[in-house]
Chain A
Amino acid sequence: MFARRFAPLAVRAAVASSSRGFTSSAAAAAALRPRLTIAASSPVTVQKSVATVAMRMYSAGGHALTQDEVEKRVLDVLKNFDKVDASKVTISSTFASLGLDSLDAVDIVMAFEDEFGVDIPDADAEKILGPKDAVTYLLAQKGGH
């Protein structure tokens, strides 16, 4: 009871005298509590002799997209489109040359958005006329995966 009535004073006193030592028991208990420090980047090393458990450090961020990877994924999306003849798809073909009209082009650009997890605004989407433009655009985006 005594402590509760004078708790605000005790807190203020603790803050004011933190450099000189602690005057209240609550502040002293806080000082004795173990501090938890987490290293900014701690690589996980697993010994080969032990059964390995796959660990994913999602907070560490993914790798940057490489040109080859983006090209392969873009062409795969294009080949899986049911209006497209997969054998005619090359990196330098345009959507028009594959027999796709503007609505199909919008569908394909939205499929690229889903595949790479980026958002492509209307103005940029209109400039993408083929897989090569898409690759150039996607490589320039941050936050794609």
Chain B
Amino acid sequence: MTYQVVPAVARTVSSASANEARARVLSLYRAWMREAPASVEKYALDLPVSQAKAKVRELFRANAGITDIKIIDLLVFKGKQNLDEAHNVWMQKTHIMRFFPELGSQPPAEKKTGFLDRFYAGHD
């Protein structure tokens, strides 16, 4: 399978229409699907490639209901940034594993008690 070279510049874009935004999303999805098996190799992840691809699918589907074009453009930009970082090995394995919280490499979030701790964490 040929591997397309991904240009390493994520630029903010402003889509003129929903169709254009949709095309960008699908293009990003295709690029991530090509990147997933390469990243499993590069970072020596202990995952099967199918699990990496399933994670990409899951993260894209989580935002499936969004209709605001500006938000879609912003999410595409962030996804493209992550893609550049994964492709060029600007991240390390620990950063990639943050995409897989269910695998338990992150410490569990402490439950904040007390007014100030909850205030700092963002609860009013």
Interface set of A (CB-CB < 8 Å, partner B):
102-103, 106-107, 110, 113-114, 117, 119, 122, 125-126
Contact = CB atoms under 8 A, between A and B. Distances in A.
Nearest to B4: A119
B30 A125 contact: yes
Interface of B: 1-2, 4, 22-23, 26-27, 29-30, 33-34, 57, 60-61
A103 B63 CA distance: 12
Nearest to B31: A122
Question: Majority SS of interface residues in chain B?
Answer: helix
Contacts, number: 28
B33 A107 contact: yes
B55 to A, nearest CB: 13
A107 B57 CA distance: 10
A19 to B, nearest CB: 49
Question: Majority SS of interface residues in chain A?
Answer: helix
Q: Which 3 A-B pairs have the closest CB atoms?
A: A119-B2, A122-B27, A106-B30
Contacts of A103: 26, 29, 57, 60-61
Contacts of B1: 113-114, 117
Given A103-B57, A119-B2, A119-B4, A110 B30 contact: yes
Contact of B33 (A110, A117, A119, A126): A110
A119 B26 CA distance: 16
A138 to B, nearest CB: 15
B29 A126 contact: no
24 contacts: A102-B22, A102-B26, A103-B26, A103-B29, A103-B60, A103-B61, A106-B26, A106-B29, A106-B30, A106-B33, A107-B57, A110-B30, A110-B33, A110-B34, A113-B1, A117-B1, A119-B2, A119-B4, A122-B23, A122-B26, A122-B27, A122-B30, A125-B30, A126-B23
A126 B24 CA distance: 11
Contacts of A102: 22, 26
Given A102-B26, A106-B33, 17 more contacts: A102-B22, A103-B29, A103-B60, A106-B30, A107-B33, A110-B33, A110-B34, A113-B1, A117-B1, A119-B2, A119-B4, A122-B23, A122-B26, A122-B30, A125-B30, A126-B23, A126-B26
A74 to B, nearest CB: 17
A50 to B, nearest CB: 40
